[in-house]
Structure 1
Amino acid sequence: MVEDPDADQACLACGLTAGTEFLPGGPILRTGTWVVEHCVGPLGLGTLVVKPIRHVIHVADLTAEESGELGPLLRRVSSAVTETMEPEQVYVCLWSHAGAVPGHIHFVVQPALKDDLARYDAYGPALQMAMFEAGQLPDEAAVADVCARLRTALAAG
């Protein structure tokens, strides 16, 4: 697949990584090829995004190095979310569309918290859709606090 070399200039994910877009809580972890950040959308406190540092729009286009880091990193991040947030479950899913156009791939690592399951009376994809429909962003101070706790958990793990 051929990528548009100018695509990252309008990419929110790239802007968050580069620091040209505001990222509540700041970056949490950076590996050789991946970055972990708190989600900037309404998926709740403790929801993280794991994305390649470079602009990639298809999993099939990941390099061998990116692919080799991915599984262990998702396990490590899921473990930190479990330890920090104490959820019922941790959802891990790939997202890659923005405005019906394939965008910078990112894996959402979301704690399914009892309070959210009850509040939205939903789980799985239905919970995520309900949270998007509600549009409630987590408090920035709470995001900064949970990011600090997640950094500590990731450093220990």
Structure 2
Amino acid sequence: MDDVTGCLACDLTAGRAAVPGGRVHQTPHWVVEHCVGPLGVGTLIVKPLRHVVQVAELTEGESAELGPLLRRTGSAVTALTSPEQVYVCLWSHAGGRPGHIHFVVQPVRREDMNGHEQFGPALQLAMFQAGRTPDPQAVTAFVGRVRDHLAAQPS
């Protein structure tokens, strides 16, 4: 399946749902977008263009692009946000069922950890529980900067 209506990841890619700031970057097999959830300005999502629910389902082409794209995306987030750490994690559940895989590339700042008194997966959970989504104008501004940064990097 290439596109599943009702899958948030597919709906965002297909334009059926709004992506803050628009598409950041695209390769033949992957798309980079800003996170729609409460993980802060600068948190990017790297997901396959087609609907994939298991890493084992990735094609050779998708697999070949993934590592370099995650490195470039992590590098861009690091350069533009100066975080203490950049988390890169796979998320793939929606409502307790396997969903469209996506890698979350999240800049984590000391103030995030101090503000939620958590780090690692517990920090992400605390951020979701707090439910504070980033200001759309700040996201749009960041997306413009990261788009330019990725375009200037060699593939």
Scaled to the shorter chain, the TM-score interval is over 0.9
Shift of 1:106: 0.1
Q: Deviations over 1:22-77 (max 9, x none)?
A: 11110000000000000001111100000000000000000000000000000000
Change (3 A) 1:7 1:19: closer
Q: CA RMSD in A?
A: 1.1
- 1:47 to 2:29 alignment: no
Aligned residue number for residue 31 of structure 1: 27
Aligned residue number for residue 123 of structure 2: 127
1:32 alignment partner AA: P
Task: Mark the runs of 5 or more structure 1 residues left unpaired by the alignment.
Answer: none
- 1:100 to 2:128 alignment: no
- 1:74 to 2:104 alignment: no
Identity across matched positions, percent:
61
Shift of 1:146: 0.5
Q: Which moved more, 1:54-63 or 1:109-118?
A: 109-118
Aligned residue pairs total 153
TM-score (norm 1): 0.95
Shift of 1:117: 1.3
Shift of 1:7: 7.0
2:29–2:62 CA contact under 8 A, matched in 1 = yes
SS at 2:31 equivalent: strand
Q: Which moved more, 1:92-101 or 1:114-123?
A: 114-123
What CA distance in whole angstroms lies between the structure 1 residues aligned with 2:110 and 2:142?
17
Q: Deviations over 1:80-100 (max 9, x none)?
A: 000011100000000000100
Change (3 A) 1:6 1:108: closer
Task: Mark the runs of 5 or more structure 2 residues left unpaired by the alignment.
Answer: none
1:33 alignment partner AA: H
Q: Runs of 4+ in structure 1 displaced over 3 angstroms? A: none
Aligned residue number for residue 139 of structure 1: 135
